Amino acid sequence: MTSLVMPTMASSLLLQLGSTCGKSPSFAPPQSILVDKLRRLVIKVKSSETRECTTAMFNANSRRDFLGLALGVSGLFIGSLDANGAGLPPEGKPKLCDDTCEKELENVPTVTTGSGLQYKDIKVGQGPSPPIGFQVAANYVAMVPSGQIFDSSLEKGQPYIFRVGSGQGIQGLDEGILSMKVGGKRRLYIPGSLAFPKGLTFAPGRPRVAPSSPVIFDVSLEYIPGLEVDEE
């Protein structure tokens, strides 16, 4: 609807400015600040004591400038609506591994488990590892292989709490967290067989996860509720 409204407004303004012969120029009260600015930009009305017939003349350059301005404003307005309507994620999404971390990971060896799960430790924790069936609080950033984020606890503003090893999370996430220690961060390369058998579809602007496709999780193990840390 927006793409029809703005060009129509520009056309109506041009029609009003076509001729003011025989009467003083008059305009309806401006509907917005934008219309008022456009009107003052494109018209110069000459006045005299005898109120002679005055015609607003537009040369080719003036008309092009006017139409260019109107269409430019329209394009910016439409573009803004499209971005918001698509639910596109904002720039600078929070991550567990920044650019410096990415470079350091290039030199970190990859560990491969018997199930096919692979991981790299971003930071080795100093706390306890979670027993199977215990609740854990973890932050995560989930990505497709291209690096596009499809889900993140950081954007939700709270850690993901679930019972590890009980089937509440995907198999690759369970296995990867069980061998971590509290305070640690890890990148998990989860094969399709340990990921989402039925796939996932998120809001517009988020990548779709195809059934049984590989995914990448950056995970930080924050704490284990109810598990006391042994004092040395």
> Highest mean pLDDT: which of 60-69, 90-99, 152-161, 199-208?
152-161
User: Which domains, from first to last, does the chain contain?
Assistant: 2-85 (no CATH), 99-223 (3.10.50.40)
pLDDT band at 88 (very low <50, low <70, confident <90, very high): very low
Higher pLDDT, 116 or 5: 116
Q: Average of pLDDT values for 123-140?
A: 96
Phi, psi of 191 (to 5 degrees): -70, 160
Higher pLDDT, 126 or 202: 126
Amino acid 154: pLDDT? 96
Helices (H), 43-170: 60-85, 99-105, 153-156
Mean pLDDT of the chain: 73
Residues β-bridged to residue 140: 219
pLDDT band at 228 (very low <50, low <70, confident <90, very high): low
pLDDT of 205 above 70: yes
Amino acid 216: pLDDT? 98
pLDDT of 29 above 80: no
pLDDT of 60 above 70: no
Q: How far apart are CA 196 and CA 215, in angstroms?
A: 9
Lowest mean pLDDT among 16-20, 96-100, 222-226: 16-20
Name the percent of the chain lying above pLDDT 90: 53
Cα dihedral sign, 102-106-111-112: positive
Amino acid 90: pLDDT? 45
pLDDT band at 176 (very low <50, low <70, confident <90, very high): very high
Higher pLDDT, 45 or 220: 220
Angle at 45 between CA 40 and CA 46, to 5 degrees: 145
Lowest mean pLDDT among 56-65, 75-84, 106-115, 152-161: 75-84
DSSP secondary structure letter of residue 89: P
Query: 95-105 burial, b if ≥16 CB within 10 A, otherwise e?
Result: ebbeeebeeee
Distances, alpha carbon 15 to alpha carbons 20, 28, 194, in Å: 11, 13, 66
Closest CA to 35 of 62, 54, 14: 14
Residues β-bridged to residue 149: 143
pLDDT band at 40 (very low <50, low <70, confident <90, very high): low
Task: Kindly state the helix (H) or strand (E) to which residue 34 belongs, with its residue range.
Answer: helix 33-42
Lowest mean pLDDT among 45-49, 170-174, 192-196: 45-49
Cβ 7 vs Cβ 74: under 8 Å? yes
Closest CA to 153 of 136, 165, 166, 171: 136
136 exposure class (CB count in 10 Å sphere: 0-12, 13-18, 19+): buried
